[in-house]
Structure 1
Amino acid sequence: MISNRSIGPRAAGISRRTLVAASGAALVAASAGSRLVSSSYAAESTPPRLTVAVIGDGRTGVWASLQAGAGGRKLEQELGTRIIWQPGFTASLPVMEAVKAGSIDFTFATATAVVNAVPARVPITPLAAYPLPANEVDFLVQANSPIKTAADLKGKKIAHQNGTTSTYSLIKYLETAGLRLSDVEALSLSGADAFTAFAQGSIDGWIHWQPATALALAKLGDKARLLPSVKTYDYAFYVARAAVAAKYPQVFARLVKIIRETQAYIFAHPAESVALWASQGGFPPNGSEQAVYEQLIRDARLSESGAVALKPIDEAAAASTQDLADNFQALGVLPNKVDVRSFLLGSQFDEAKKAVALELGA
């Protein structure tokens, strides 16, 4: 938020110039008229409620801005339905079980979550995707550590959150030195647990995504440093529970467009956005955390930063995610081969794809 270099090219990164252009286009498109429920939507049936999964506590990011009505938006009015927010998920992978249980209707999902969901027969409808920022992941080591490059990681104790973006970035980073995941002592830890272990010196390194690592660096100061040339390779998706998406494809398409426009608003108003998140309890106002979040927005390094480039599922997203699945299977992260490309491009999603394409102007 994918490819083995021996198989194909990795997902293209999103430059700040691309984000600025997309932000401007989205903001222009978000006219007053587009923010009201159109007559076509008003005439359609809508679900009585939608339950949306939130990674973390929901006090920062797109969902926090939408809940607070940033830019004058009124999400429930625009969609014509009640939104139930379900926070507390540590990553998008655990959300897939909630979708399967029928308790979540819509969620952000990294490619790793989608790859795991397909063989588990999680009933998802993929709606839209974008490449995660290429510099979203950081690899922290102790400041006085002898580890300088990927080659120095052999036999070392490394924390990652298994089956997530951090796992794939770790796999790809090790690959640059001819190493495999089995060449290190890989420990699966959540961001909070990994930070504690790292701060206590009980692990040699920690690879994770933003904002966790940027916040950790701000707290640890000169006690930690970053390894060079660590990259993010996978895509991010927005997916819906299939049974609900089949009934209300236009509602979900509209939600995807609102996400794209809201992320563009955040990108265009970083100081205002982080002040809003602070007022929602995301972090203490005017402190170091607020400054870290604002810089991450300006640098387009958050998972949602690339959402200004959201578009319908295409061959690039499908092929990239297939490469990730092939790598995971080859390394034993997945027990069997998964044909995720055919799933993502499947004709069973045509109605939803058409609705999303119409909304996003694709």
Structure 2
Amino acid sequence: MTTHPAPTTDTTSRPPSGSGRPAVPAGGLSRRGLLRLGGLTALAPALAPVLAACGGSSDSDNRAIADGVPEKFRFAVIGSGKTGIPAALRYKFNGGADLGKTLGGTTVTWPSGFTASLPVMEALKAGSVDFTFATATAVAYAVGGGVPIVPLAAYPLPADEVEILVPRDSPIHGAADLKGKRIADQKGTTGTYSLIKYLETAGLRLDDVDYHDLSAADAESAFANGKVDAWISWQPAIGLAKARHKARGLPGVKTYDYSFYVASESFAKAYPKAAAKAVRAVRDAQRAINAAPEKSVAFFDKIGGFGSEDAEREVYRELVRQKRLSDSNADVLAAVDAKAVKSTQDLADNFHDLGVYPSKVDVAGFLRDSRFDSIKKTVAAELAK
């Protein structure tokens, strides 16, 4: 993953009040780079029993304006923010509700510049974000790295979100054929976990292949130029590359992990009802997208969600129809359950075995911690509406 600019805050609506401190720099937050940061190199098995409020925040940052309503709500934007749930909420897709009004009259801002959910964890730790999508990988890093998050809800990623691409005329037709082959993957991601599981179906391990740890852009370039034999990644990037390079996907590749929505501990403690309402707003936004694929793609196109390639819009439209995007199953968001816990612990254990995490991480213990029981009930009650 490349570095990215510091998170910025959009103020096209009512400007936020608060401390006025500058945005937290986010440079250097690759998955490997994060492990090298001070205090995160030796991952602790789990978070301390009770974590302090997010570093750098103050009581004035999220003080109530009336009846438990937060003055501001900072929703992290990953990627361009012009497609998917953040875009649907921010620009009120299909006449959707105003998120600030849903929370009781809150100013919503959208810290951006994040390339993935892992860098958002560091922003949460610094106190510059209140709420975000998070992959299972990011949650495991947060647990090991002492990031004060509260797990609000989870959902399983679409089983076919990840693909392994090979050239159309490749002799590779299944997992067994990958032995000794050059495979591109961004290490420590959903793709890595799927690759591990796929190789296991043929009795292979990651050290049985010629593994290349590459960012998505570098992996696509390597694949297009024949420098690797196969490439594993997720939608929509892999779907567009499949069309662009006339590649084919291998059969039987699956996505196994869960995704989460989390809040900073300070926000969730102060405003549990607002956090729960935000989760329901996310779920309802995805339901609206899934119910109207053509309309949603036209909406995202209008606000600049796609590049100049016609294929980008077409691939995205088909992925929305097929529910193959990472957001697609957010329409069934629910309080974190046993399946989500087991899956995320298994991912963390596999990554520890690979050396991605230097220490074992007790994600299950964290996700089951009784101190989250109250917020779980609040979220479940909100999602029952």
Q: Distance in 2 between matches of 1:75 and 1:193?
A: 37
Structure 1 pair 128/229, CA: closer, same or farther in 2 (3 Å)? Answer: same
Give the corresponding residue for 1:251.
274
Q: Distance in 1 between matches of 2:77 and 2:254?
A: 25
> Number of residue pairs matched?
320
* Structure 1 gaps, min length 5: 1-40
CA RMSD for the aligned pairs?
Answer: 1.9
Q: Distance in 2 between matches of 1:269 and 1:286?
A: 22
Cα deviation code 1:122-160 (max 9, x no counterpart):
111000001111011011112232222212222322221
Structure 1 pair 88/199, CA: closer, same or farther in 2 (3 Å)? Answer: farther
What SS does the corresponding residue of 1:159 show, helix, strand or coil?
strand
Matched, 1:272 2:289: no
Structure 1 contact 275–285 (Cα < 8 Å) conserved: no
Matched, 1:127 2:152: yes
Q: Of 102, 112, 115, which residue of structure 2 is paired with 1:78? A: 102
Q: What is the deviation of 1:284?
A: 5.0
Structure 2 contact 65–71 (Cα < 8 Å) conserved: no
For 2:301, give the aligned amino acid: A
Give the corresponding residue for 1:336.
359
Deviates more, 1:41-50 or 1:307-316: 41-50
4+ runs deviating over 4 angstroms: none
Q: Distance in 2 between matches of 1:259 and 1:143?
A: 38
1:1-362 to 2 correspondences below 5 Å = 44-72=67-95, 73-79=97-103, 80-221=105-246, 224-283=247-306, 287-361=310-384
What SS does the corresponding residue of 2:203 show, helix, strand or coil?
coil
What SS does the corresponding residue of 1:168 show, helix, strand or coil?
helix
- Bigger helix share: 1
Structure 1 pair 254/229, CA: closer, same or farther in 2 (3 Å)? Answer: same
TM-score (norm: length of structure 1): 0.84
Structure 1 contact 279–285 (Cα < 8 Å) conserved: no
What SS does the corresponding residue of 1:311 show, helix, strand or coil?
coil
Q: What is the deviation of 1:42?
A: 9.1
* Structure 2 gaps, min length 5: 1-63
Larger relative contact order, structure 1 or 2 (CA cutoff 8 Å, min sep 6):
1
TM-score (norm: length of structure 2): 0.79
For 1:74, give the aligned amino acid: D
What SS does the corresponding residue of 1:126 show, helix, strand or coil?
strand
Q: Distance in 2 between matches of 1:64 and 1:204?
A: 36
Structure 1 contact 154–179 (Cα < 8 Å) conserved: yes
Structure 2 contact 182–209 (Cα < 8 Å) conserved: yes
Q: Distance in 2 between matches of 1:353 and 1:228?
A: 38
Q: Distance in 2 between matches of 1:52 and 1:190?
A: 25
Structure 1 contact 93–163 (Cα < 8 Å) conserved: no
For 2:119, give the aligned amino acid: P
Q: What is the deviation of 1:228?
A: 1.1
